[in-house]
């Protein structure tokens, strides 16, 4: 069976936001070179906001730089709706993959 990918359409049917989001999460793994740390943090924050909503839990220690940066990237998206975060994530992946 042949499946043609054309933007947000697969076999002539529009993809739901969730399907497009999941597709973007898979497509980002196909990059031949890693994005900058800033872009990776943007992707992380948008992904977490899109899947879990507003940040929760205690902010990591200043000694754990990586975990703290990831937490802050997610925290920066606080108040953004999950659908809005998913759309922003899809848009960023589209910029990086195309």
Tens of pLDDT, residue by residue, the chain (98 residues): 334 555 544 555 567 999 999 999 999 999 999 999 999 999 999 999 999 999 999 999 999 999 999 999 999 999 999 999 999 999 999 999 97
Would residue 41 count as lying in a domain? Answer: no
pTM, to two decimals: 0.83
pLDDT of 98 reads 76
Would residue 38 count as lying in a domain? Answer: no
Would residue 14 count as lying in a domain? Answer: no
Q: Which domain holds residue 81?
A: 54-98
φ, ψ for residue 5 (rounded to 5)? -95, 125
Would residue 45 count as lying in a domain? Answer: no
Would residue 12 count as lying in a domain? Answer: no
Would residue 29 count as lying in a domain? Answer: no
Would residue 11 count as lying in a domain? Answer: no
Would residue 32 count as lying in a domain? Answer: no
């Amino acid at each position: 069976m042949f499946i043609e990918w054309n933007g947000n359409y697969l076999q002539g049917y529009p993809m739901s936001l969730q399907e497009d989001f999941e597709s973007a999460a898979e497509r980002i793994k196909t990059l031949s070179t890693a994005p900058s740390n800033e872009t990776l943090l943007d992707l992380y924050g948008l992904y977490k906001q899109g899947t879990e909503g507003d940040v929760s839990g205690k902010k990591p220690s200043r000694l754990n730089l990586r975990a703290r940066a990831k937490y802050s990237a997610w925290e920066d998206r606080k108040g953004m709706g999950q659908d809005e975060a998913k759309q922003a994530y899809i848009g960023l992946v589209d910029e990086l993959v195309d």
